[in-house]
Copies of this chain bind each other. A is one copy, B any other.
Amino acid sequence: MLEVSSLNKVYRSGAREVEALRDLTFTVDSGELVCLVGPSGCGKTTLLRCIAGLLEPSGGKVRLDGREVSGPPPGLAMVFQEYGRSLFPWMSVRDNVELPLKQKKITRHRRATLVEQALDAVGLAGTESAYPWQLSGGMQQRVAIARAVAYEPSTLLMDEPFAAVDAQTRADLEDLVRALWQRLEVTVLFITHDIDEAVYLGQRVLMLSSSPTVVQDEITVDLPAARDQLHTRADPRFTELRTHVYEQIQAAKLQPGGANASS
């Protein structure tokens, strides 16, 4: 169970002061898959960093399974928006994926299996020995995803993880994330700009207002749990939900600070 309560974050540097998050409160149950959408620059990445314990909030609290987050909690994996910079250029693709597993003290044999499976699942079999900078943008992003998937985390934070891949691969990866989530009962927080993706993937979609940021709205995606690209997207309920989300986002852009803003 992930609880975010009155989270506030102000970036200060010299004269510039940016209130990235004003007052965020929401909870995510254990094993839930929640998608986050919001205008560009509204503070989604900031929020994810706070949840991962990488950034100290200016106010408010983040609790994971009852404990307050002060550093990265165990069993957490994160796919960074800056996928290119989050891969280590001095390691081959395989080593990049394998390293966190070593840190987790997984046996060599199991590691090899996990790495192979993960790279296979993201369609990168055969590039194990290449360096990340020898890969295309989309391939780099998939390495970052493979790294998180192979880690078998209990909490998975993903920051626009499919931004650089083509439509077909994206669909495959969406199904991969849902499969992983169902198999391991991971708590997933998923940031995306693709509204269809948010509705297709999530059990719930949280919509953030533009900066200063609050939770603008949230909907529960009442589509059946068994989803597939063809049928789910054709479902009239799907279209209804995505239209709702779309409207909310447009509203968010037009009226910053959101309706629920408490200030």
Residues of A within 8 A of B (CB): 11, 13, 16, 18, 37-46, 81-82, 84-85, 129-130, 134-139, 142, 160, 163-170, 193-195, 246, 249-250, 253
Contacts and interface: CB of A to CB of B under 8 A. Distances in A.
A105 to B, nearest CB: 31
Q: Main SS of chain A's interface residues?
A: mixed
A45 B134 contact: no
A167 B46 CA distance: 19
How many copies of this chain does one complex carry?
2
A167 to B, nearest CB: 6
Contact of A167 (B81, B169, B246): B246
Contact of A139 (B37, B41, B168): B41
Contacts of A43: 136
A40 B246 contact: no
Nearest to A246: B167
A137 B81 CA distance: 7
Contacts of A81: 137, 164
| Interchain residue pairs A-B with the least CB separation, the first 8 | A40-B138, A163-B163, A41-B136, A166-B193, A81-B137, A40-B165, A41-B139, A40-B166
A41 B84 contact: no
Nearest to A142: B40
Contacts of A42: 136
Given A163-B164, A166-B249, A168-B253, A11 B134 contact: yes
Given A84-B82, A129-B16, A164 B134 contact: no
